[in-house]
Amino acid sequence: MGSVNGQFISSILVLVSAAACSATSAAPTTSCARTAPVVVRKYYQLWSWQRYPTMYAMLSSAYRASHPYSRWVRTLGSPDRVAADATPGRNAAQVQVRVYMQSNDGTATAYHGTWQMARSGDTWLLDTPALARYATPPQDLLASLFKLPSSTPTEQWLKAQRLLRTLHATVSHAKVAVMATTDCFVDPSGRAKPATGRDAGCSLIDGAGYEFRVGPSGPTDYQVVYDPADGMVWFLSGCCSDFHQYLLSDVSAPPTCITDTMPLTQVRTRHGIRLGATLADVERAYGKAQPNTVGTYTGLDYENRSQGVPGMYCGASFAFSKNRLAAIELDGC
């Protein structure tokens, strides 16, 4: 098995299955270390989702100096199926990697080896790859990397949030009001990726959040940003053309290691509505609606009936507790 050079290695990476996206400890955790394997798994996952600029920023300055972006991005290729896993190496700065690639013509190759990492502040950067080719791809590699789970602890945690269930309950029988324009979430801090073109003014979690997929059909994509300090989560879920974004307060600690964190108190809708707003604030921004009350919670439901804009959201639902906005859902169109 011959060694594979760094530039070729940069073209090999990876769809990480939901099972490989995170540790799955049963004990809830409010924070977790951004270890080298976590960073490498994120890098590989971003590759599979074609988040090239974010991936490039995760490479060390030495690696980037010898691999200019324009040349590096041309080496990535587009295999039909790519997958990998990443585990701790001999020390904290080394990560063991197994990689599998399958081309459109059915040709398959697999590699194994290491990434040497470089420390940068409170995180790690990918610095030096050293991979060799398997003569025959091991069957456990293929079986483990291409089997999407029907669910994950992170998905179960999101679905179990009380305010998510409350949001759906309060708007399930609400009279739908019409809002004037489509909507989206905006991150004034600039930590989430800004959208461009017709979506300008919106913020995207893509590349900035914890991403995973679950099956068996679809599959369903999830992108998650967690705020442990304020007990908030912003996430997107969907399949095909059916996507939903949520911003929830008062969430429990996740059962998995989510290192994609940022303050979420300033995230708002494009109409200027943040969690904590009053029902009157929402009606001033979106128009008068007929509230629906379930227990101690109240819900408002809106939709835009004009032609949808790609990337934008045509429905907006709100759940209030004691007249304060506690949860927002934006529905794709």
Q: Mean pLDDT score of the chain, rounded to an integer?
A: 84
Hey, which residues does 82 pair with through a beta bridge?
A: 101
Q: DSSP label at 30? A: S
Number of domains in the chain: 2
Q: Are residues 118 and 26 in the same domain?
A: yes
User: pLDDT at residue 1 above 50?
Assistant: no
User: pLDDT at residue 45 above 50?
Assistant: yes
Q: pLDDT tens-digit profile of 114-147?
A: 999 999 988 899 999 999 999 888 888 877 777 8
Q: Is residue 308 very low, low, confident or very high in pLDDT (cuts 50, 70, 90)?
A: low
Q: Are residues 277 and 191 in the same domain?
A: yes
Task: Please tell me whether the overall predicted TM-score, pTM, comes out greater than 0.95 for this model.
Answer: no
Q: Which one, of 328, 246, 236, lies nearest residue 286 by Cα?
A: 328
| Burial (CB count within 10 angstroms: exposed 0-12, middle 13-18, buried 19+), residue 265 | middle
Q: Are residues 83 and 158 in the same domain?
A: no
First vs last C-alpha separation in the chain: 50
- Which alpha helices (H) appear in the chain, and where do they start and end? 6-9, 36-48, 52-57, 61-66, 69-74, 139-145, 153-159, 162-171, 279-286
CA atoms of 161 and 328, how far apart (whole Å):
13
Q: Are residues 224 and 179 in the same domain?
A: yes
Mean predicted confidence (pLDDT) in 193-219: 84
Amino acid letter, residue 26: A
Q: Write down which residue in 145, 161, 190 finishes a domain.
A: 145
Range of the domain at 162: 153-332
Q: What is the pLDDT of residue 197?
A: 78
Q: Are residues 91 and 188 in the same domain?
A: no
- Tokens standing for residue 241: 């053309």
Q: What is the pLDDT of residue 24?
A: 31
Q: Are residues 216 and 261 in the same domain?
A: yes
Q: Are residues 163 and 96 in the same domain?
A: no
Mean predicted confidence (pLDDT) in 14-26: 33
Q: Are residues 168 and 64 in the same domain?
A: no
Q: Are residues 212 and 280 in the same domain?
A: yes
Q: Write down which residue in 145, 175, 194 finishes a domain.
A: 145
Q: Are residues 50 and 111 in the same domain?
A: yes
Q: Are residues 107 and 179 in the same domain?
A: no
Q: What is the pLDDT of residue 243?
A: 87
Q: Are residues 124 and 203 in the same domain?
A: no
